[in-house]
Chains A and B, each alone.
Chain A
Amino acid sequence: MVTVSRATRLSISNEVDLVRARQEVRVQAQALGFSLVDQTRITTAVSELIRNMMKYAGGGTMEIEGVRNGVRIGLRIICHDKGPGIPDIGLAMKEGYSTSNGLGYGLPGTKRLVDEFDIWSEVGKGTRVTISKWR
């Protein structure tokens, strides 16, 4: 997998940053020729991940880049925070599980919107979620 466009890095700490991040993802997905439905999927996935980041870690960073794997063009987004981390990733990825006010769509729902979903987390160090969508 090679990078086809320079990574854009945004720092996220409030809801204005959230709106800006969503707009940036939408613009890049559009530029790479993603369909409207895929643009909406990626943008919504990012919105959910950033909400988690703000809720549990108070903010973090988002990196977004265009990638190529052979003939396939894609978008890769990394959401990284230095928050408390997730003690049990298996549980966090379970459908219907949520530690805050019972929403429970969070991570499993977000995973369904993208093609690749990778999560790393260490208690006390932070969480990093990498998602990719291929055109």
Chain B
Amino acid sequence: MEKIPIIKVGDTLLVSIQTDLQDQVAMTMQTDLLGRIEQTSARGVIIDISVVDIVDSFLGRVLSDTASMARIMNAVVVVVGIQPSVAITLVELGLELKQIPTALNVERGLQLLRERIAWEDHAVADGAESRELGREEERARNGHG
């Protein structure tokens, strides 16, 4: 059975789907990708589907599940390269992939990843800072009490 290659570019993993996917290949891609996220501590993943000419409910679900699973592993997945005909068909079918961040192409996808990851790191840093402030206030109160 064929395998979808996963390429590491800096701290990002790039998955380029080049064929009319058999279901089992899509499922293997999902497992392989989660394994590579663990191995490489990647924070960002780009799944390029620009040469995929149909996305049905099965593949749509695999993509959105993969994004959710990667999310739990602290990685952001962006799906890029959805063809206009695929976008039209997905909406008409009722499968809008709302929960998956998407971008027009790999370049925009990388940009979106950088923004998301920076925003998340910022939010985490803010959280740590306010927790630190909280402890200081507590120490101050204890000192006065």
Contacts and interface: CB of A to CB of B under 8 A. Distances in A.
Interface stretch (B34-42, B88-96, B130-138): B88-96
A47 B23 contact: no
B22 A19 contact: yes
A15 B22 contact: yes
B121 interface: no
Contact of A40 (B54, B61, B95): B54
Interface of B: 20, 22-24, 53-58, 61, 83-86, 88-89, 92-95
A40 B22 contact: no
Given A19-B22, A48-B56, A109 B93 contact: yes
A105 B94 contact: yes
Contact of A112 (B53, B58, B93): B93
B46 to A, nearest CB: 23
Contacts of B56: 44, 47-48, 51
A68 interface: no
A113 B54 contact: no
A16 B85 CA distance: 24
Contacts of B22: 15-16, 18-19
Interface residues of A, number: 26
Given A22-B54, A40-B53, A113 B92 contact: yes
A43 interface: yes
17 contacts: A15-B22, A18-B23, A19-B20, A19-B22, A37-B85, A37-B89, A41-B89, A41-B92, A47-B54, A48-B56, A51-B56, A105-B57, A105-B93, A105-B94, A106-B57, A108-B94, A109-B93
A120 B54 CA distance: 27
B40 to A, nearest CB: 30
A109 B90 CA distance: 9
Contacts of B54: 22, 40, 43-44, 47
Contact of B92 (A19, A39, A112): A112
B24 A15 contact: yes
Contacts of A69: none
Contacts of A105: 57, 93-95
A132 interface: no
